[in-house]
Chains A and B, each alone.
Chain A
Amino acid sequence: MKPLNLFALLLFLWGVIWVLTLSERSVRKIQQAYYGTTAPFLKGGSALKLKAERFLDEVENSKDTENRLKSIEVEFVKLRSIEGRLRELERENNEFRAALDFKKRSSLNVIAARVIKRQPSTWWETAILDRGEESGIGLQIPIIAPGGLAGKIDTVSSDTSTMILLTDERCQVSVQVAGTPEVGILHGLRGHYGEEPRLLLRHLSREAAIRPGMKVVTTGKGGVFPENILVGTVKAYTPGTLEGSASVEPSVDFANLKVVFVIANKEEG
């Protein structure tokens, strides 16, 4: 090996050791700085994507109208176009109304946040939110969405934050099967991709009286998640030699996760 290459290799190894021995605090600071720097790109990209979707919708609407109503005057086409826009606004309005209604019904003090995008990660289930420290969001704060529990905050920068979705293996939640004394730890499944999201509920009794369709709610134990938040529905129970486990279908539609609610203060009722 040439001396220069050997020097490069040694320098590289020194760099690797330095990075691998970084403290958790330093890693968090690096991630905060990274998300702070990339936030304008992410927000800009997300806004551009929304505009493009709206534009494509408009184009599609215009084409349909042209094909069906070729003989109608240009003014009418304009009106249809406006109508298309209004429909989009109405849909968006309904979405926000549903979100507001959910917020009202929730007994928790929550901060509404928009999901900017899902992380382009291979193995981790995370998403970026458009609210950060400036909105009072901190680490490990639980997140709910229409339907129930959605995950928790992983990292926070000044105006964005990253959430771990409930479907990730690292997002563990203490839960109880409603109507039974059965409690266990629920988390996402590893190695299952391109299928409907499923959660695994472990540490149940060997032969628990659990039937498909039973609701699963948080216990509030451990101090991270508040109690009695719906998590999902039991799909199947598997008894084991030492303990039982259950497959749970999440109550939140993770494929269409657009607006979430970060629990600002768990104590406020």
Chain B
Amino acid sequence: MLWYHVSLVLLVIASTILQQFSPAFEGLHEARILVVPLVFLCAAVTVNVGPMLLLAFVCGFLWDTQHILSHHETNQKMLQVYVDSQADVRFGYSIILYAMMGFIMQGIQPLFREGKWHVSALLSGVAIFLYLFVEYMFITFIRGELILTRALFLKISFTSLLTMFLCPPVFWVLFRLADLFHHTIDYEGLKTDRRGFVD
């Protein structure tokens, strides 16, 4: 079982490299497939809380390392000219967002265990939408000036849809890995409340 979790961490690292080559679709408001969140969301539903949090930490850490802009030192000369705030989101904020998404996915683990993986696939689309929207609102909150445009919502929607459509192949890979490492999804949260739940 441990090997399954190790393989998930390796899969996340591989997806980080793969993410580098994910193109932006110009015709779809620069939407792109978010490989790392996709792998995380699909994996989050197959593991317990502990490993999910570990994956959230790894994904969020790598994500921010890749994307967060540096805060450069400013001198007096610069401060006199650039009066607007240069503040931006802090390194590590994505870890919290990933954990939030992970908990959403954990909520439907009973359905996943019953074989309804497509519900998880649909929810991953919703989770990506929420993730991107919350991330944008984080940026807005720090930089100031609320700007909500149609293009913004279209970009988030297309990104969520494109990512969601790739859920089946990722689940297929996860099922193969689970078979390979003899991992069974052991849901602990609502186990006693559900009748007729095949253990």
Partner of B84, one of A11, A22, A185: A185
Contact with B along A58-82 (1 / 0, CB 8 A): 0000000000000000000000000
Contact with A along B97-111 (1 / 0, CB 8 A): 001000000000000
Query: Which residues of chain B from 55 to 82 have a CB within 8 Å of any chain A CB?
Result: 56-57, 61-62, 65-72, 75, 77-78, 80-82
Residues in B whose Cβ lies below 8 Å from that of A20: 90-93
Which stretch, B15-23, B117-125, B165-173, touches the partner chain A? B15-23
Contact with B along A1-41 (1 / 0, CB 8 A): 01011011101100110011010100110110010001001
Main secondary structure of the interface of B (DSSP, over half): helix
Partner of B56, one of A12, A118, A126: A12
Bound-complex Cα distance A187 to B80 (A): 17
Known contacts A9-B49, A122-B159, A169-B143; A194 and B154 CB within 8 A of each other: yes
Partner of A15, one of B84, B95, B151, B154: B95
Is B66 touching A119 in the complex (CB atoms < 8 A)? yes
The yes or no answer to A224 lying at the interface (CB within 8 A) is yes
Is A4 touching B69 in the complex (CB atoms < 8 A)? no
Of residues A15, A24, A164, which shows the largest number of chain B Cβ atoms within 10 Å of its Cβ?
A: A15
Residues in B whose Cβ lies below 8 Å from that of A124: 67, 69
For B, the interface residue count at a CB cutoff of 8 angstroms equals 63
Is B78 touching A222 in the complex (CB atoms < 8 A)? yes
Is B77 touching A194 in the complex (CB atoms < 8 A)? no
Measured CB to CB, the nearest residue on chain A to B57 is A15
Bound-complex Cα distance A196 to B144 (A): 24
Is A120 touching B19 in the complex (CB atoms < 8 A)? yes
Query: Which residues of chain A from 188 to 218 have a CB within 8 Å of any chain B CB?
Result: 190-195, 202-203
Residues in B whose Cβ lies below 8 Å from that of A24: 70-71
Is A12 touching B57 in the complex (CB atoms < 8 A)? yes
- The residues of B with any CB-CB pair to A shorter than 8 Å are 17, 19-22, 24, 26-30, 32, 34, 48-50, 53-54, 56-57, 61-62, 65-72, 75, 77-78, 80-84, 86, 88, 90-93, 95-96, 99, 132, 135-136, 139-140, 143, 145, 147-149, 151-152, 154-155, 159, 188
6 interchain pairs (CB within 8 A)?
A5-B49, A38-B17, A45-B21, A139-B72, A191-B151, A194-B29
